[in-house]
């Protein structure tokens, strides 16, 4: 049963979310169309350019991304406290980068002499925009609608570009976040599009270890294993993360063709994650199911918060850390 977005996305419960959006009929509208032979791979750059702009407008941080031929993945962190601290002028400046300003707000911005009623109405609009700047649905709308309109204009057609509303999963703990980051960065490798994860130009891992793309997309930094808060950054070191991505990518899976030779990094023992459980977690048929990602304890707590008996979701088995 479809759940209301207010239940799926709640910054008070967790600021971290994994988002997936697919092209209509899962067609390769951002890659090479196998039926027509047309290559639409240039649209992947459209997505990256739009993400760079939205990162400057919204109070939503990007942890990872992967733009594929018929879908894309994002790992994002909502920052409503940052949006709440923005001045009225900053809100107008940010919003005007995406939308035309209504006449009333333009008059307020120019410092015209407004009546008390007009001032109240203008400030109400600004407060609404301030909330939207940390709203995941508005963020995804500004991404998807722009790409759809641009693609339809390119082909001189109309109709749906994306199959429907985006799917989101709440990420409840450090282990769930780690599993999700690896899952996203390994997407091109598992699809056998590249020989190594860093060979794909349209994933966040490539940006972290190579020259940033133009325009550069701000990514949350790795802040080290000694930090455990999901609100300050990614709680691992970049070196450990690269070892883990490499090790996970070397495991040959029967359901996905892409892999590289196996190795085992030390990060698993430091986090207390069992390798078999972690591999099950990052499997497409595990991680992509359900509305939350996290250990059973955190899933039960999240379900209690929304007065539900249980939540469908996955998470690695791990010791406390």
Check residues 145 and 263 and name the one with the higher pLDDT.
Answer: 145
Entry pTM: 0.81
219/189 Cα distance (integer angstroms): 21
Strand order in the sheet with 167-171: 60-67, 71-78, 16-22, 167-171, 292-293, 313-314
Q: Identify which of 317, 313, 222 has the alpha carbon closest to the alpha carbon of residue 272.
A: 317
Domains in the chain: ranges and CATH: 5-82+135-314 (3.30.70.1290), 97-132 (no CATH)
94: pLDDT strictly greater than 50: yes
What tens digit of pLDDT does each residue of 45-81 get?
A: 999 999 999 999 999 999 999 999 999 999 999 999 9
Torsion of CA 101, 106, 109, 114, to 10 degrees: -140
What's the rounded mean pLDDT across residues 226-245? 72
Structure tokens at 177: 């976040």
Instruction: Please compute the mean of the pLDDT values over residues 283-308 and round it to a whole number.
Output: 58
Confidence check: pLDDT of 141 > 70: yes
3-state helix, strand, coil in the chain (%, to 5): 45, 15, 40
Average pLDDT (91-118) is 96
Tens-digit pLDDT profile for residues 207-223: 888 766 666 789 998 88
């Amino acid at each position: 049963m479809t759940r209301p977005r207010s239940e799926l996305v709640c910054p008070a419960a967790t600021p971290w979310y994994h988002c997936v959006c697919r092209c209509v009929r899962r067609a390769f509208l951002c890659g090479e169309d196998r039926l027509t032979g047309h290559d639409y791979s240039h649209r992947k750059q459209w997505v990256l350019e739009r993400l760079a702009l939205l990162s400057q407008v919204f109070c939503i941080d990007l942890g990872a991304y992967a733009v594929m031929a018929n879908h894309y993945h994002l790992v994002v962190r909502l920052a409503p406290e940052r949006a709440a601290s923005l001045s009225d002028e900053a809100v107008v400046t940010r919003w005007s980068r995406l939308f035309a300003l209504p006449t009333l707000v333009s008059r307020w911005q120019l410092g015209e002499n407004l009546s008390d009623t007009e001032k109240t109405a203008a400030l109400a609009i600004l407060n609404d925009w301030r909330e939207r700047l940390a709203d995941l649905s508005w963020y995804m709308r500004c991404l998807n609608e722009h790409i759809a309109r641009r693609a339809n204009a390119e082909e001189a057609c109309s109709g749906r570009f994306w199959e429907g509303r985006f799917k989101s999963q709440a990420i409840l703990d450090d282990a769930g976040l780690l599993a999700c980051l690896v899952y996203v960065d390994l997407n091109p490798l598992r699809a056998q599009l590249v020989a190594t994860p860093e060979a794909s130009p349209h994933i966040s891992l490539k940006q972290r270890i190579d020259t940033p793309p133009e325009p550069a997309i701000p990514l949350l930094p790795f802040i080290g294993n000694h930090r455990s808060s999901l609100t300050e950054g990614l709680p691992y070191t970049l070196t450990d993360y690269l070892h883990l991505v490499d090790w996970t990518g070397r495991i040959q899976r029967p359901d996905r063709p892409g892999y590289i030779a196996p190795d085992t990094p030390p990060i698993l023992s430091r986090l207390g994650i069992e390798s078999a459980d972690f591999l099950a977690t990052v499997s497409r048929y595990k991680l992509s199911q359900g509305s939350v990602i996290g250990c059973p304890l955190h899933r039960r707590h999240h379900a209690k918060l929304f007065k539900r008996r249980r939540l469908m979701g996955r998470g690695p088995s791990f010791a406390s850390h």
